[in-house]
Amino acid sequence: KDKMKDKSSYVENFVPLLELVNEAISQNHIVILEALGHVSKLEKQANIIAQKLGELRDKLRNG
């Protein structure tokens, strides 16, 4: 009898929580991927800026 109570408690409480977590992940994975994409884009832009600054520094040194 106790096992049935435990099982029904699991089904009533834990399973709905898992479903909510899975739903949240499925809805937000796009946001997570977009955030990573923005970070990657910013990193590329920062590298380009660093390269351009290096070129400018070299030009100023060499006249």
Tell me which long-range contacts 51-60 makes (C-beta under 8 A, separation of at least 24): none
CA angle (40, 42, 44) in 5-degree steps: 70
Q: Which residue type, as a one-letter code, is found at position 31?
A: V
CA distance 3 to 17: 20
pLDDT at 18: 85
CA distance 33 to 41: 12
5-57 pLDDT, tens digit per residue, is: 567 777 787 888 888 888 887 887 777 778 878 888 889 999 999 999 999 99
pLDDT at 37: 84
43-62 pLDDT, tens digit per residue, is: 999 999 999 999 999 999 99
Rg of the chain, C-alpha, whole Å: 26
pLDDT at 57: 92
